[in-house]
Copies of this chain bind each other. A is one copy, B any other.
Amino acid sequence: MTKSALQIARAAYQPKLPKALLGAVKVKEGEPTQSVADQEAIKQLFPNTYGMPLIQFEEGGVATEFPAINVGVILSGGQAPGGHNVISGLFDGIKKLNKDSKLFGFILGPGGLVDHNYIELTSDIIDEYRNTGGFDIIGSGRTKLEKVEQFEKGLEIIRELGIKALVIIGGDDSNTNACVLAEYYAAKNYGVQVIGCPKTIDGDLKNEMIETSFGFDTACKTYSEVIGNIERDCNSARKYWHFIKLMGRSASHIALECALQTQPNVCIVSEEVEAKDMSLDDVVTYIAQVVADRAAAGNNFGTVLIPEGLIEFIPAMKRLIAELNDFLAHNGEEFNAIERNKQREYIINHLSAENAAIYASLPEGVARQLSLDRDPHGNVQVSLIETEKLLSEMVATKLAAWKKEGKYVGKFAPQHHFFGYEGRCAAPSNFDADYCYSLGYTASVLIANGKTGYMSSVRNTTAPAAEWIAGGVPITMMMNMERRHGEMKPVIQKALVKLDGAPFKKFAANRETWAKETAYVYPGPIQYFGPSEVCDEPTKTLQLEQAK
């Protein structure tokens, strides 16, 4: 493998661990826990893994001999920077317990367990991947582990390899499934432990005990680097409005964090749009007003951040999409028989008045996408909608109308960007390198202590790594019951942006200034070797949330 100079230099980095994990570890158990809601229902579903205490690891344990153990590891779902460090932390942890311990990696996600597709992760392999981005050491996948047949099929290979514990690195759904698996193996007395690790760049897997999911730090810093570069270009050329869509469908944490880092003229936060019941036209009007105000001050340029999931948070758009899905499910044949350039009119004539008006207001390309490009189940493919272009087109239309009314004088030339794949596999920042390594190492200590149904937890993460607090959180503690595909299911509560939380409040207090003034901040590329304030600062979101 040809390596870049940075890859080679970075391979030598030794990630930092919480002080408590450096020597023999003492286990401190808290009180029994409860789920965040629906306690009775969750308790019934998880009789063996419900109510377990919080675990905290402290210094001063007694060193004991530990038998060699075999552990399996799975990467689940979308890539996030630092996954390789979780694995190397886990590897170093079980090797420290006993040098004959073995780590097996299941290939291409949970499917690897079911299909018995694995490799042994030996030290020469691990060393190739320390402090690198990506999930390519064993690959990832989106197979959901939720069926008994899968659990039993997985058990075959677990038995064959003598695996004592499985570590599942994933987002909220994967960790929910990890807990279902833990419960199943516990109920069956199979003697197989299951430990989860909180991964997702989206930042929506967090709560009182999990301060942040790994990868969020690096991904946001990478996006902020390029956003800052675009802002600087914007402020140099002074002639474009840049509409930048950012990955993250289920929550706006990434957009909000990038806004706090780069101070753009506009950032839309989906959760606010939903809470205020804003229409698409409300969002467009808000942006157009900022453009018009800046134009009045002679500034025909600016930067707008848009969260990928926006459309699905606009209540009126959700209603339109629901009616469209329903209508086309029943009238698909008739619709398809209509001449292409009359389809739009046909739909407008058949929708309810409110939805017809919204549909009619959409640019042609998006309207077509909503009615034509449907997934195999006949549903609108919201993820394919280029929200950044949709918004800029509608803003342009609105500005043209205002120009006629004399309410706007200026030029509006948009540019479009979408950042997602640029950050999911970036090499981890120092924060993520340390945090991930600590999460993996903590998982090994949870395993050594016989725990199952726990998520690896590292807290106090705004302090230096030595002071971080490592332990375990019962996954059931984070669960509530939610309707999924028409059925009530136990799931880990998703953390949306809180409108009364410190990060949003900081943004809200400043956005008017940022809209008017050109207050861009240019974070620049992630640094690994410089002064600590440049290399080691966690995200603004984490700092604001953890500030006392």
Using CB atoms and an 8 Å cutoff, list the residues of chain A in contact with chain B. Answer: 1-7, 9-10, 78-79, 108, 132-136, 139-140, 222, 225-226, 228-230, 232-238, 242, 261, 263, 340-341, 415, 417, 421-427, 519, 521-531, 533-534, 537
Contact = CB atoms under 8 A, between A and B. Distances in A.
A7 B524 contact: yes
Given A236-B135, A238-B108, A242-B421, A524 B427 contact: yes
Contact of A527 (B139, B340, B529): B529
B236 A537 contact: no
A524 B108 contact: no
B519 A425 contact: no
B229 A524 contact: no
A134 B233 contact: yes
A344 to B, nearest CB: 13
A115 to B, nearest CB: 15
Contacts of A234: 421
Contacts of A242: 421
Given A341-B341, A415-B421, 17 more contacts: A1-B519, A5-B531, A6-B530, A10-B524, A79-B233, A132-B522, A133-B229, A136-B232, A136-B235, A140-B237, A225-B525, A229-B421, A230-B425, A233-B421, A417-B421, A427-B522, A529-B534
Q: Please list the 3 inter-chain residue pairs (A to B) with the smallest Cβ-Cβ separation, ordered nearest first.
A: A525-B525, A529-B530, A232-B425
Contact of A226 (B135, B226, B531): B226
A85 B224 CA distance: 23
A413 to B, nearest CB: 12
Given A233-B79, A233-B425, A527-B529, A7 B522 contact: yes
A263 B3 CA distance: 11
A109 to B, nearest CB: 10
A229 to B, nearest CB: 5
Contacts of A135: 236-237
A229 B527 contact: no
Nearest to A140: B236
A454 to B, nearest CB: 26
A424 B9 CA distance: 27
Given A79-B237, A140-B236, A229-B133, A527 B528 contact: yes
Contacts of A226: 222, 226, 422
12 contacts: A2-B521, A3-B521, A4-B228, A4-B521, A4-B522, A9-B533, A10-B524, A132-B522, A133-B522, A134-B522, A229-B422, A415-B421
Contacts of A527: 6, 525, 527-529
A2 B229 contact: no
A139 B236 contact: yes
